[in-house]
């Protein structure tokens, strides 16, 4: 009888976090468990996107969730995410998780971000055995530093060198977009044969229809308002001061557009201060899944907003949720960015220049005045989700990759032990 394959997943974000990488890490782990893999996840206590713990978590905990053994480690949280404080946070998680016994997994999956903790875990994995290591790239650090210009120059070069070192030495690299594949191959020197594209899937499955009128009343939205909602992290790369300025223009022009920022993040307080005189802007805290779905469904358009200069470092995870709603997507992003290409490829939305609040407001008003076009865009997004963002296809690709890597190792191990 064949022993089930054992997979160890290591990453800082995991359910019950509802935004960013966590739904994908947990989704993969739980699906592999349903398919008969033995899965163990090493992760941090929930802290994202608010960048704080709920109370004082234990130094270490262990639980079973949906067939996955989940071990959590308390790590250092940065007082303000970014720069050296962020690096120290990643290193602290990397050290905490690497001090535990890794066991004898058949394959190890490292989730990046976090790059620094993934590098530490990679070294630990190589010291403890020869299990194949997969690095799952959700964001590219080297592009992030370049595009956000937080730490240009030598530090950016050092980060690119570390990222390339890790990806070139991994047994396989999984990226979430074709543009990422081009970057890791042409800029970071990873062999094309080592790279697999596995799209992030829509983790919001079809649910019960939402009573839009009731949901809007609960949220304080009137029937004559056109609600543009941005969901998820409120960080630097989102550049949400653009939305604040657009809301101020809406008030000045007597527009019926309401902008809503739903979620949390390290820029939330700054945005709240900036929005004091912008009654057309509403801020909502992070919501549980059911309420989050209701809020999305009750809006009229869903917004992706990016800071000017952000072009290739990330594929907004919120798009996978947006395309499930049947609502049009409005993207404020640089021309030629991954986000613009994804929205235009889907046919599910429109794109305007990043950092242009007037263009954002005008695009929202255009959608408001043309409900037929808005509905057509929403339906196109749903088709794109069904055809290109299927969780079934993504899980199949991942399972086949892991089985292929472990099959070769198991055969080699079996042959080697027979010759001793």
User: What are the tens digits of pLDDT across the range 3-27?
Assistant: 889 999 999 999 999 888 999 999 9
pLDDT tier, 207 (very low <50, low <70, confident <90, very high otherwise)? low
Q: Are 81 and 234 in contact (CB under 8 A)?
A: no
> For residue 101, is the peptide bond before it cis, meaning its omega torsion is within 30 degrees of 0?
no
58-92 as b/e, with b when 16 or more CB fall inside 10 Å?
A: eeeeeeeeebbbbebbbbebbeebeeeebbebbbb
By the 10 Å C-beta count (0-12 exposed, 13-18 middle, 19+ buried), 420 is classed as: exposed
15 by Cβ neighbours in 10 Å (0-12 / 13-18 / 19+) ranks as: buried
**Cis previous bond, 114, omega within 30:** yes
> Is the pLDDT higher at 374 or at 311?
374
The DSSP symbol for 312 reads S
- pLDDT-based confidence at 408, cuts 50/70/90? low
Percent of the chain with pLDDT over 90: 70
- Can you read off the two tokens belonging to residue 214? 């009731």
Q: Which residue has the higher pLDDT, 127 or 2?
A: 127
Per-residue confidence (pLDDT) for residue 419, from 0 to 100: 35
- The pLDDT of residue 204: 66
Token representation of residue 179: 């543009």
SS3 for 75-140 is CCCCCCCCHHHHHHHHHHHHHHHHCCCCCCCCEEEEEECCHHHHHHHHHHHHHHCCCCEEEEECEC
Max CA pair span of the chain? 82
Mean pLDDT lowest among 198-212, 220-234, 291-305: 198-212
- Arithmetic mean of pLDDT, 320-342: 93
Q: What is the mean pLDDT of residues 398-418?
A: 69
Q: What is the DSSP letter of 55?
A: S
Per-residue b/e over 105-134, b at no fewer than 16 CB within 10 Å?
A: bbbbbbbbbbbbbbbbbbebbeeeeebbbb
Residue 400 has pLDDT above 90, yes or no: yes
Question: Residue 290: its pLDDT value, please?
Answer: 84
Contact by Cβ (8 Å): 263, 292: no
- For residues 227-239, give the mean pLDDT: 92
pLDDT over threshold 60, residue 416:
no
pLDDT at site 265: 86
> Averaged over 56-72, what is the pLDDT?
96
pLDDT of residue 24: 94
| Sign, Cα dihedral of 373, 374, 377, 378 | negative
337 preceded by cis ω (within 30°)? no
Sequence-ordered list of residues with C-beta below 8 angstroms from that of 386, at least 6 positions apart, any chain? none
Q: Say which residue, 330 or 160, is predicted with more confidence.
A: 330
The three-class DSSP label of residue 382 is helix
The token pair that represents 349 in the structure block: 């939305």
DSSP letter at 240 equals T
The arithmetic mean of pLDDT across residues 79-93, rounded, is: 84
Residue 411 has pLDDT above 90, yes or no: no
pLDDT on residue 316? 80
pLDDT digits (tens, 9 = 90+) for 287-328: 888 888 899 999 999 999 999 988 766 678 789 889 999 999
> Which whole number is the average pLDDT over 240-246?
97
How confident is the model over 118-177, as pLDDT tens digits?
Answer: 999 999 999 988 899 999 999 888 777 776 665 557 777 888 899 999 999 999 999 998
Reported as a pLDDT band with limits 50, 70 and 90, residue 418 is very low
Q: Which residues pair with residue 228 across a beta bridge?
A: 259, 301
Residue 206 confidence class, pLDDT cut points 50, 70, 90: low
* pLDDT, greater one: 192 or 266: 192
- E-only strand ranges, 219-360: 226-231, 257-262, 281-284, 301-305, 329-332, 349-352
Sign of CA dihedral 106, 112, 113, 117: positive
Say if CB 97 and CB 42 are below 8 A apart: yes
């Amino acid at each position: 009888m064949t022993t089930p394959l054992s997979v160890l997943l290591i990453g800082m974000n995991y359910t019950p976090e509802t935004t960013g990488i966590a739904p994908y890490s947990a989704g993969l782990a739980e699906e592999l468990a349903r398919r008969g893999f033995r899965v163990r996840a090493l992760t941090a206590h929930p802290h994202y996107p608010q960048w704080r713990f709920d109370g004082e978590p234990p130094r270490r905990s262990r639980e079973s969730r949906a067939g996955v053994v989940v071990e959590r480690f308390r790590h250092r949280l940065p007082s303000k995410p970014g720069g050296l404080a962020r690096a120290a946070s990643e290193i602290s998680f990397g050290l905490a998780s690497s001090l535990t016994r890794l066991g004898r997994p058949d394959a190890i999956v490292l989730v990046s971000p976090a790059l620094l903790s993934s590098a530490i875990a990679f070294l630990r994995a190589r010291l403890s055995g020869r299990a194949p290591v997969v690095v799952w790239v959700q964001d590219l650090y080297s592009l992030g530093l370049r595009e956000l210009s937080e730490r240009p120059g030598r530090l950016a070069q050092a980060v690119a060198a570390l990222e390339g070192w890790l990806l070139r030495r991994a047994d396989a690299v999984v990226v979430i977009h074709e543009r990422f594949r081009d970057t890791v191959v042409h800029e970071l020197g990873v062999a094309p044969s080592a790279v697999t594209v596995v799209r992030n899937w829509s983790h919001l499955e079809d649910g019960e229809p939402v009573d839009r009128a009731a949901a809007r009343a609960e949220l304080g939205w009137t029937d004559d308002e056109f609600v543009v909602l941005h969901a998820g992290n409120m960080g630097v790369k989102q550049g949400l001061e653009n939305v604040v300025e657009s809301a101020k223009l809406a008030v000045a022009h007597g527009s019926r557009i309401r902008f809503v920022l739903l979620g949390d993040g390290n820029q939330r307080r700054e945005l709240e201060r900036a929005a004091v005189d912008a009654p057309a802007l509403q801020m909502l805290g992070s919501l549980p899944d059911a309420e989050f779905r209701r809020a999305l469904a009750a809006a009229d358009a869903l917004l992706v907003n990016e800071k000017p200069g952000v072009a290739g470092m990330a594929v907004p995870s919120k798009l996978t949720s947006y395309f499930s709603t049947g609502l049009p997507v409005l993207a404020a992003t640089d021309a030629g960015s991954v986000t613009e290409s994804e929205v235009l490829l889907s046919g599910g939305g429109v794109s305007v220049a990043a950092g242009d609040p007037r263009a954002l407001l005008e695009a929202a008003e255009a959608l408001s005045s043309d409900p037929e076009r808005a509905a057509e865009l929403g339906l196109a997004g749903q088709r794109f989700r069904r055809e290109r963002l299927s969780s079934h296809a993504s899980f199949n690709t991942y399972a086949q990759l892991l089985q292929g890597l472990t099959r070769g190792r198991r055969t080699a191990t079996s042959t080697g032990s027979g010759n001793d």
